[in-house]
A and B are shown apart, each in its own frame.
Chain A
Amino acid sequence: QQPVQSPQAVILREGEDAVINCSSSKALYSVHWYRQKHGEAPVFLMILLKGGEQKGHDKISASFNEKKQQSSLYLTASQLSYSGTYFCGSLETSGSRLTFGEGTQLTVNP
């Protein structure tokens, strides 16, 4: 079953922050975050495994609340290069297949 993402779209000015949420109705083993630019393949950002785990990657970080089956992606001091569609992917078990949310289109303007 597909995870649910929100919001569907975000428009920011350079330097502003954004939060993208991802939730599932099923228990999750892990959550993956990817960014896709138009016409290109998704690029892996990070994976979160444990309840309450948080990770950071430059000015992009994420958290995973295993009990609530929710994950959030935080983009701080956004840059123009952050523009793209962000997808969360969920795994129910370590060996299962990755299913994606509908995506959040992020646009960062100068």
Chain B
Amino acid sequence: GAVVSQHPSRVICKSGTSVKIECRSLDFQATTMFWYRQFPKKSLMLMATSNEGSKATYEQGVEKDKFLINHASLTLSTLTVTSAHPEDSSFYICSARRTGVVNYGYTFGSGTRLTVV
């Protein structure tokens, strides 16, 4: 159990366009999901906490208007990179925590490699 599906796995887009990444918990409900960004050979940097039915909580320095997060259901969170630029190219990973279960590992999606050209 505890499977998180993330799509797409890879995407190439042109500068100025927007890209949507989906994160789904397949066999559990997740009131809270998290979006991370990872640069090559670097750590996972938390971007924001996605809360079902309410606004996301962004980490300091993360532009809310650039990285739009929507958590419309207990199993789906989306991250939209708006007006993408080459510096937005990165590996984006989501993770989910089981609702109502506190002492449990977080499950990660398989990640999305975004390349902006």
Q: Which residues in A have some Cβ–Cβ distance to B below 8 Å?
A: 2, 30, 32, 34, 40-44, 46-47, 49, 87, 89, 94-95, 97-103, 105
Chain A neighbourhood of B109, CB < 8 A: 41
Would A94 and B102 count as touching, CB distance under 8 A?
Answer: yes
Give B59's nearest chain A residue, CB to CB. A97
Given contacts A42-B44, A105-B41, 13 further A-B contacts (CB under 8 A): A2-B43, A41-B111, A44-B108, A47-B103, A94-B102, A94-B103, A97-B49, A98-B34, A98-B46, A98-B106, A100-B44, A102-B42, A103-B43
In this complex, the interface size class of chain B, counting residues with CB under 8 Å from chain A, is 20 to 34
User: Are B102 and A41 in contact, with the CB atoms below 8 A?
Assistant: no
B-side residues, CB < 8 A to A, are 6, 34, 41-44, 46, 49, 93, 95, 102-111
Chain A residues positioned under 8 Å from B111 (CB to CB): 40-41
Given A100-B44, A103-B43, the answer on whether A32 and B110 have CB atoms closer than 8 Å is: no
